Amino acid sequence: MSNVLPAGTYVVDPVHSSVEFSVRHLMVSKVKGRFDEFSGTITVAEDGSASLSAEVDVTSVSTRNEQRDAHIRTADFFDAENHPKATFVSTGVATKGSDYVLSGELTLRGVTKPVQFDLEFLGTNPGMGQGEVAAFEAKTVITRQDFGITIDMPLETGGKVIGDKITLTLDIEALRQA
């Protein structure tokens, strides 16, 4: 295993990766969900600089509740009929101690905002016969209202059914292209 990411192009392996989220529910617990369809490419230049682009099919949302998932796809939330994809394009990577900060532009529901992910590079491995593999974990918190998801479902006792802060967690394994 190596802790240096060699120059090259890496393609996210969706079978060994996940894109997940969590949001406060009823002011006390969290609902967790995931997206089953996503893709991404990481490009590392010879000088060590890197860029990343990714796309998530928001219609593939799964919270393990079909009725809730159908509601999340509507104009109340993702408006998936008009905006079926969310995208991320990096604008920079900076060191933060032994880890990194990945900056970029997230587009969700047709709204583009700058975001920063706390990024941990987990290393590389020769893989299992299909080429070198690199692994990463990344996490950020976004505000849903910043992306036009403004539905408020107030509780009789005060507060809202769903919180405003969304935690996005990525576990990524990417395969280096020959």
pLDDT tens by residue, 49-108: 889 999 999 999 999 999 989 988 999 889 999 999 999 999 999 888 889 999 999 999
CA proximity to 15, closest of 34, 42, 46, 38: 38
Determine contact, residues 3/123, Cβ cutoff 8 Å: yes
Environment class of 77 (CB within 10 Å of its CB; exposed 0-12, middle 13-18, buried 19+): buried
How many whole angstroms separate alpha carbon 164 and alpha carbon 148?
Answer: 11
Query: Domains of the chain (ranges plus CATH)?
Result: 8-176 (2.40.128.110)
What is the value of pTM for the model shown? 0.90
pLDDT tens by residue, 27-41: 566 889 999 999 999
Residues 6+ away with beta carbon under 8 Å from 70: none
- Indicate the average pLDDT of the chain: 88
Question: Which pLDDT value is given to residue 161?
Answer: 53
Determine contact, residues 172/50, Cβ cutoff 8 Å: no
Can you spell out the DSSP letters for 84-122?
Answer: -EEEEEEEEEEEETTEEEEEEEEEETTEEEEEEEEEEEE
